[in-house]
């Protein structure tokens, strides 16, 4: 049994579609994740928005109603029978209770007691981190442990193994691709 550290936003939950959707509606734009070539979303929005793109992350209900990414729930259910799963998530403090509710609702077999709210994922005990954020992947890799990227245009600069789906991630874990 290994301890798998799993990121929430853009790994378990589809944050970008809802976040960009709110921006697109307000600013009459068509931002999508394909356009994000780096982590800083403010570079890809209209000049009149810029840093205000981050204000959407404080809106009540945003995190509570995110959809899971395809196969995330089922794969996590399978993996939780064989491994310890910790959800490691960094976000605005106001979202903490919504994230707990989301996990209780969608991942009751993991439960909110297995969420770790942190901005320093590389300091958390675990054998592997599955994440999308370039800084998290890099900092975790630099501890000598395995970081796996959920593949997005904005994390291409980070040299770690990457997967395009939860099914691919499950196969990697089960077939020991990463020498766990």
Instruction: Provide the binding-site residues for Mg ion, judged by CB under 5 A.
Output: 7, 9-10, 132
Nearer to Mg ion, 46 or 90 (CB): 90
Eight-class DSSP state of 175: T
**Cα 124 versus chain centre, distance:** 16
Nearest to 154 by CA among 137, 129, 139, 166: 137
**Annotated active-site residue in 9, 14, 26, 29:** 9
Among 154, 151, 152, 128, smallest CA distance to 141 is for: 128
Q: How far is the CB of 48 from Mg ion (least distance, A)?
A: 27
Residue 68: strand pairing partners:
13
> Which of residues 35 and 46 has its CB atom nearest to Mg ion in the complex?
35
Choose the catalytic residue: 7, 131, 132, 179.
7
Task: Decide whether 33 or 173 has the Cβ nearer to Mg ion.
Answer: 33
Cα–Cα distance, 6 to 2 (Å, whole number): 12
- Smallest gap from Cβ 8 to Mg ion, in A, equals 7
Residue 159 CA, chain-centre distance (Å), reads: 18
Instruction: Determine whether 52 is exposed, middle or buried from the number of CB atoms within 10 Å of its CB (0-12, 13-18, 19+).
Output: middle
Query: Annotated catalytic, 7?
Result: yes
We find the least distance from the C-beta atom of residue 171 to Mg ion, in angstroms, to be: 21
Residue placing its CB nearer to Mg ion in the complex, 100 or 132: 132
Output the residue with the shortest Cβ distance to Mg ion. Answer: 9
User: Least distance (Å) from Mg ion to the CB of residue 5?
Assistant: 12
Q: Just list the catalytic residues.
A: 7, 9
């Amino acid at each position: 049994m290994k301890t798998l550290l799993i990121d929430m936003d853009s790994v378990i939950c589809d944050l970008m579609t809802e976040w960009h959707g709110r921006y697109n509606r307000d600013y009459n734009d068509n931002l999508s994740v394909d356009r994000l070539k780096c982590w800083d979303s403010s570079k890809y929005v209209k000049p009149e928005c810029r840093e205000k793109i981050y204000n959407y992350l404080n809106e009540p209900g945003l995190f509570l109603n995110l959809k899971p990414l395809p196969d995330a729930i089922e794969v996590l259910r399978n993996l939780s029978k064989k491994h310890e799963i910790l959800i490691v998530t960094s976000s605005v403090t106001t979202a903490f209770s919504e994230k707990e509710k989301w996990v209780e609702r969608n991942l009751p077999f993991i439960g909110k007691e297995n969420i770790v709210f942190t901005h320093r994922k590389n300091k958390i005990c675990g054998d592997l981190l599955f994440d999308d954020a370039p800084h998290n992947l890099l900092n975790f890799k630099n501890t000598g442990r395995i970081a796996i990227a959920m593949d997005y245009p904005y994390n291409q600069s980070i040299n770690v193994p990457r997967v395009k789906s939860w099914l691919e991630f499950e196969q990697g874990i089960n077939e020991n691709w990463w020498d766990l």
